[in-house]
Structure 1
Amino acid sequence: MKLHIVPARAGLEWTRLGIRVFWRQPLALAALFFLCMAAMSLATALPLVGPALALALLPSATLAMMVAAAEAGQDRMPTPKLLLVAFRTGRERLHAMLTLGALYAGGFLLIMGLSALIDGGQFAQVYLGGAPLTREIAESGDFQAAMWLSLLLYVPLSLLFWHAPGLVHWHGVPPVKALFFSIVACVRNLGAFTVYGLAWTGVFVGAAMAVSLAVALLSGLGLGAGIAGAMMVATAMMLASMFFTSVVFTFRDSFEPPPSRASRQPPADVIDTD
């Protein structure tokens, strides 16, 4: 497996391809993303272990969206069965994906635990436990410090797991090695990922401005707030689906394609982007 170093402008291309491929199968990709989020929400409802289980499902959900994007890139319809793609590729990779999920959950909960040392767990309760966020809490110095600490610590955690699901699934890399290769690839291509992040920030801000304008126009016409709320939720869901669709292109361009063709969708050379 060989790492590719890409120019910074690749970040714009990843964003463009994510949007373009999403619109090839918008309903299927949005529906799959919704199912992933619904599965994690249902897991959260379980007593005691719910939040940790939901966190452990995130690498598998990311992989499902990557494989779905590869399917859509070949003009094939992604189906709901891709929700379980991480658990249907053999016992060895199943164990690897479960290990990856456990490591992610452990890392995230460790970050929440460190933030609790600052504000007594208020931020963790709001983020994980659904505790109400009042103005008094939001303006608390300890709460804000815990929030920023969590954000800063989450960045390296995110880089560790960015490519890891794809490396486990398509290259058969063991979980710990996948984490190492993932963060190395992200750091070596930091310019491209910076442009990628800025590009998606621009897309989200632009979409938010457009939705706000549409909501204002609807309000001026005397239409109900329900329509505006539905529009905002639908737009957020669509944008999140686009973003997760684009992840596979960051993976495709960062690594050599796997030598084995056992996997159905090794992404480095099968995604048609012409």
Structure 2
Amino acid sequence: MKLNIVPARTGVAWVRTGLQTFAKRPLAFVSLFFFFMALVSIASQVPLIGTVFALMLLPTMTLGLMAASAESAKAENGQKPPAAAVFLAALNAARSGIRPMLVLGGLYAALFLLVMGVSALADGGQFAKVYLMGGTVSREMAESGDFQAALWIAMALYLPLSLAFWHAPALVHWHGVPPAKSLFFSFFACFKNLGAMFVFGVTWVGVFVVSGIVLSLVATLFAAVAGEGAVAAGGALMVGGALVMAAMFFTSTWFTFRDSFID
């Protein structure tokens, strides 16, 4: 396994290839994403330690969707892979190597909670409570300097954490890299390909913004035609659209890994 340095413009190719792969089996990818999100949601309901369980599942969810993308990418000349093969690839990846993935999940949960703990030093834990427990954000709270400071601290600390775990599940699964080492290799790979990763992120922001505008217009027109009773349907459309976009995003992450390492 060798690190591969790619030009910055590759970030756009990653997004484009991810969207093309998603388009081959959109229902399969959306269903997989919803399935993993349902598992995370169920885990979060466990009393006392539910949040920790939910956080531990996130690396496995990422791996499952990457494996589904890898399976779908095997189909050449625009052919559609069997939906069953996409599902099985994701589920097999999620259940194989359970021990190292549990270790990786534990590391993610511990480090994420550490980030929240550091942010709590700025506002007494208000931001952490809202983020982890779904508390209500009042206007006064949102405008508070301490709350905003906690938000920025959490974002600044989460960026390197995100880079450390970006390739880690794939390195553990496909290359047998120990969980702790996978964090170092992942961070180093992302840092060396920072230009491509930055373009990848900016391109996805653009896709999300444009999609959000389109969905908002569709929801507004729908409400105008169907009347006030369609407001709830318009809200559901926005939420559903956001979840589909998230599934598209995770589909594209496989290509950032594939092009960053050479066997």
Q: What TM-score does the superposition give when structure 2 sets the normalisation length?
A: 0.93
Structure 2 matches for 1:163-182, cutoff 5 A? 163-182=167-186
Could you tell me how far 1:102 is from its partner in structure 2?
A: 0.4
Give the aligned partner of residue 10 of structure 1: 10
4+ residue runs over 4 A deviation? none
Among 234, 239, 243, the residue aligned to 1:237: 243
Unaligned stretches of 5+ in structure 2? 76-80
Q: Deviations over 1:246-271 (max 9, x none)?
A: 000000000013xxxxxxxxxxxxxx
Give aligned pairs, total.
Answer: 253
Structure 1 residue 85: deviation in Å?
Answer: 2.5
In the alignment, what sits opposite 1:212? 216
Give the distance between the partners of 1:65 and 1:49, measured in 2 at CA. 25
- 2:33 is aligned with what amino acid? F
Q: Distance in 2 between matches of 1:44 and 1:151?
A: 22
Tell me the alpha carbon deviations over residues 178-233 of structure 1, each in whole angstroms, 9 at most, x when there is no partner. 11100000000000001000100000000011111112211221341122112112
Encode CA deviations 1:79-117: one digit per residue, 9 max, x unaligned.
2673462322xxxx3221111000000000000101111
Matched, 1:82 2:86: no
Matched residues, percent identical?
53
Note if contact 2:68-2:89 (Cα within 8 Å) is conserved in structure 1. Answer: no
Q: Tell me, in whole angstroms, the C-alpha distance in 1 between the residues paired with 2:216 and 2:54.
A: 31
Q: What SS is found at the alignment partner of 1:221?
A: helix
Query: Secondary structure of 1:226's match?
Result: helix
Separation in structure 2 between the aligned mates of residue 87 and residue 251 of structure 1, nearest angstrom: 20
**SS at 1:23's partner residue?**
helix
Q: Which of 143, 149, 154 is 2:158 aligned to?
A: 154
More helix by share: 2
Secondary structure in 1 matching 2:234? helix
Unpaired stretches in structure 1, ≥5 consecutive residues? 258-274
Distance 1:95 1:22 in 2: 30
Map of 2:189 onto structure 1: 185
- After superposing the two structures, state which structure 1 stretch, 213-222 or 133-142, moved more: 213-222
After superposition, the CA RMSD in angstroms is 1.2
Distance (whole Å) between structure 1 residues aligned to residue 34 and residue 159 of structure 2: 24
Equivalent residue letter for 2:212? A
SS state of the match for residue 5, structure 1?
Answer: coil
Once residues 200 and 105 of structure 2 are traced to their aligned partners in structure 1, the CA distance between those partners, rounded to angstroms, is 25
Aligned residues of 1:32 and 1:83 also touching (Cα < 8 A): no
1:135-192 CA deviation, whole Å, 9 max, x = no partner?
A: 1111111111001100010000000000000000000000111111000000000000
In structure 1, C-alpha distance between the alignment counterparts of 2:50 and 2:226, rounded to whole Å: 42
CA distance in 1, matches of 2:240, 2:48: 31
- Aligned residue for 1:144? 148
TM-score (norm 1): 0.90
- Greater mean deviation of Cα atoms: 69-78 or 6-15: 69-78
Contact 1:32 / 1:79 at 8 angstroms: preserved in 2?
A: yes
Aligned pairs (5 A) from 1:19-34: 19-34=19-34
Secondary structure class of the residue paired with 1:57: helix
Q: For residue 58 of structure 1, what is the aligned residue in structure 2? A: 58
